[in-house]
Chain A
Amino acid sequence: MVSMKRMAAVAAVSMIGLSACSGTDSGSPAVPGEAKGGDLLAKAPVAAAADILPGSTMEKIKQRGELIVGGSLDAPLLSQQNPTTGEVEGFDADMGKALAKYIIGEPKVKIVNSASETREALLSNGTVDVVFQTYTITPERAEQVAFAGPYYSSGLTLAVRKGTAGIAKPEDLNGKTVIAGANTPAIPAIKKIAPQAKIVTFGSDPECMQALKQERGDAYVQDETLLVANAKKDPSVQVVGSPFTTDPYGIGLKHGDDQFKKFVNDWLKKIQADGLWQQTWKNSIGTVVQGEAPTPPQIGSVPGS
């Protein structure tokens, strides 16, 4: 298992090397943000006509000419709307656009701002085609929706105000007041690791950060990526330790649509193999997390996927 992972990592790294070499058009850093996203999608694959099976969900989406994605507009690095361009940017957002291009031939996406409490319902009644929203795969959820992937593996960690003493590891949260995003896996995770912690929840990440700074809690538990990005922007806050959970993110699909699930999984394998996945990571999460892109998780490797 370990050696497999290492091999995959080596493969991934060499892929990036290769794509970096072959990408002759990527050497124009004049307009970094936009050019990068555009480049990425220009390279994104399009499915063969034979893969769009007649009568399938893929065909329906292709005919509509737009992929309807359940997602967020306020998650930095993952899916955040740029107020100046109106574009939604980040890892999840780019993945959604790439999937749209794979199906339709163009990255045409409509993002429906789905809240954690409505994702299952939006999928099952067909309001959205897919959900890209740091949607952690769990067996309970897999009874309601289908998950392609996992397409990314993340973990929860904690942030505190700079200079806070006595919180070095998640167990230290016992007896403390802990801030968490409403409807995030942080809530059950805190209950498990520090049962005596008092949990206060707020709707969005900016609100949680504000609450932390205003001392409504001693620590803030959230996905490491988000916290690192926050800490970069705001030096009064620091990230403590390394992730203490593993959250495999899946692409939420309508329950029982095995054809579409296989199609999306095939696409994931393809973009992992050709380095697009890694490049997407570098353009978003990789701008704050040090080092090379991680090895993408193996498709179908967690219960519920």
Chain B
Amino acid sequence: MSAILDHLPEFWQGLIVTLQLTAASFLGAAVMGLVITAMRVSPVGVLRGIGTAYVETFQNLPLLVLLVLAVFGLPEIGIKADLLVTAIVVIALYEAAYIAEALRSGVNAVSAGQGEAARALGLTFGQSLRHVILPQALRTVIQPLGNIFIALTMNTSLAAAIGVVDLTAAANRVNLMEAQPIPIFVGAGLAYALIAAGAGFVTGRLERRLVVVR
């Protein structure tokens, strides 16, 4: 236990980085995911194709591979960014594929009549998506989005492998000195569990408030 208490500042610093990673990459993934979803349900074939290719690509590559490629591969072609920034961008791009799939299932859940009615009112594709379809779609996928957020939180720990000193890396470093893996990693695990529980609580509340009863 003292192994954790003696190193609270390191753990705290790591937790902040983990929260930064989580918040920033989820925000990025949400925006990107929305764009991909719009492409996938759009009437333009080329856009649908790009959207599908994006989702298939990112869902079929392990995140760690993408991270290592971005950190060690991109500098070879002259692109080198800060490690934290690289991690945020890569995690956002990766998770966007999952968010897009969740959103698309939400869009599919909105009855076709809604879209037809919107078109009949003279709304453009963008307008009907923005004002009619997506608001309803979003409400049905709150729980899946919450799950993606939790998975994303856990996935941020992979950033430790590319030199970002997040909660996982901080735990590793403390353990290196104290050699007490059980309390240290249980402690770090609890911190992740708390973030996940918080996300679960928020999505539960949101869902009860916003759910569309059909």
Chain A positions near chain B (C-beta within 8 angstroms)? 116-118, 120-121, 138, 140-141, 143-145, 182-185, 187-188, 200-203, 207, 210-211, 214-216
Chain B residues within 8 Å of A118, by CB = 181
On whether the beta carbons of A187 and B83 are closer than 8 Å, the reply is: no
* Complex A-B: 24 CB contacts under 8 Å: A116-B176, A117-B175, A120-B179, A120-B180, A120-B181, A140-B177, A140-B179, A182-B163, A182-B169, A182-B173, A183-B176, A184-B176, A185-B176, A187-B176, A200-B163, A201-B163, A202-B161, A202-B163, A207-B72, A210-B72, A211-B72, A214-B75, A215-B75, A216-B75
Pick from A140, A143, A182, A185: contact of B172, CB below 8 A.
A182
B162 at the interface (CB under 8 A from A): yes
Measured CB to CB, the closest approach of chain B to A80, in angstroms, equals 19
B160-201 Cβ-contact flags toward A at 8 Å (1 or 0)? 111101000100110111111110010000000000000000
Number of A-B residue pairs having CB atoms within 8 Å of each other in the complex: 64
Q: How far is the CA of A203 from the CA of B157 in the complex (A)?
A: 13
Q: How far is the CA of A141 from the CA of B71 in the complex (A)?
A: 33
Does more than half of chain B's interface fall in helix, strand or loop, or is it mixed? Answer: helix
On whether the beta carbons of A182 and B160 are closer than 8 Å, the reply is: yes
B80 at the interface (CB under 8 A from A): yes
Chain A residues within 8 Å of B178, by CB = 140
Q: How far is the CA of A214 from the CA of B161 in the complex (A)?
A: 17
The interface size bin for chain B is 20 to 34
On whether the beta carbons of B179 and A144 are closer than 8 Å, the reply is: yes
Chain A residues within 8 Å of B176, by CB = 116-117, 183-185, 187-188
Pick from B68, B165, B173: contact of A183, CB below 8 A.
B173
Closest CB pairs A-B (n = 5): A141-B179, A214-B75, A200-B163, A144-B179, A121-B181
On whether the beta carbons of B173 and A143 are closer than 8 Å, the reply is: no
On whether the beta carbons of B179 and A202 are closer than 8 Å, the reply is: no
Q: How far is the CA of A144 from the CA of B180 in the complex (A)?
A: 7
Measured CB to CB, the closest approach of chain A to B29, in angstroms, equals 25
Chain B residues within 8 Å of A211, by CB = 71-72, 163
Q: Given A201-B173, A214-B72, 15 other A-B contacts at CB below 8 A?
A: A116-B172, A116-B176, A120-B180, A140-B179, A182-B161, A182-B169, A183-B172, A183-B173, A200-B163, A202-B163, A211-B71, A211-B163, A214-B76, A215-B75, A215-B80
Select from chain B the residue with minimum beta-carbon distance to A145. Answer: B179
Chain A residues within 8 Å of B75, by CB = 214-216
Q: How far is the CA of A74 from the CA of B89 in the complex (A)?
A: 29
Beyond A201-B169, A202-B163, whether A188 also contacts B177 by CB under 8 A is yes
Chain B residues within 8 Å of A144, by CB = 179-180
Q: How far is the CA of A207 from the CA of B83 in the complex (A)?
A: 14
